[in-house]
Amino acid sequence: MRRSIALIIFALALAACGTSQPAAIPTVEVGNVALATQSAIIDASGGRPTDGEAAPDFSYTMADGSVHTLSELRGKRVLVNFWATWCMPCREEMPELQQTATDNSENLVILGVNRNEAPDAIAKFGNEVGVTFPLIANIAGDIGDRYGATSLPMTYFINSDGTISSRQLGGLSPALLAKHLDALQ
């Protein structure tokens, strides 16, 4: 009897292992938002990056299924903003970031990496404030953890060679944003 029960349990365990399905990309009504529904850190080694170091690479999957990485943007200046919908300074700086994205569309890429919120909430927020640059859902929080973004907002300014020029903790005023952008190479 024990042997029969053990064999049944073993057979069930094997059957369960062989039927795993890949994680599906959530279906989200995105409206006008460029939404990445999934993301993950690629370069998980080391502590918080500092100025002059290579920006840790991460991947993000857009709602249309296309997969991108931060490292693909080498050759362009990049602003990576860590934010959340509940963060008031984050909400306040979004229109300025959108205007910056619009004014610098040929030589600057802005990526908004959300901390720990669902794609539906991010899409709703993005449509409310009129953001068209990519908003990236990072439910696991691993990208923000790697970058040390424990307080929000936090923004990294990345040179075209992929190195970090500077970072700003807290909301970006137009003057602070201009200062950081002027220093980008």
pLDDT digit string (tens) for the chain, length 185 residues: 555 444 444 444 444 444 333 344 444 567 788 999 999 999 988 889 999 999 999 999 999 999 999 999 999 999 999 999 999 999 999 999 999 999 998 999 999 999 999 999 999 999 999 999 999 999 999 999 999 999 999 999 999 999 999 999 999 999 999 999 999 99
How far apart are alpha carbons 47 and 50 in whole angstroms? 9
- pLDDT for res 24: 44
Whether this prediction's pTM lies above 0.85 is answered by: no
What is the signed CA dihedral for 124, 126, 132, 134, rounded to 10 degrees? -90
- pLDDT for res 108: 97
Q: Which of 116, 108, 109 is nearest to 82 (CA)?
A: 116
How far apart are alpha carbons 169 and 76 in whole angstroms? 22
- pLDDT for res 45: 86
Amino acid at residue number 64: D
- pLDDT for res 3: 52
| Second-level CATH architecture of 22-183 | 3-Layer(aba) Sandwich (3.40)
- pLDDT for res 2: 55
- pLDDT for res 1: 54
Angle at CA 116, nearest 5°, toward 181 and 128?
65
Phi, psi dihedral angles at 34 (to 5 degrees): -85, 95
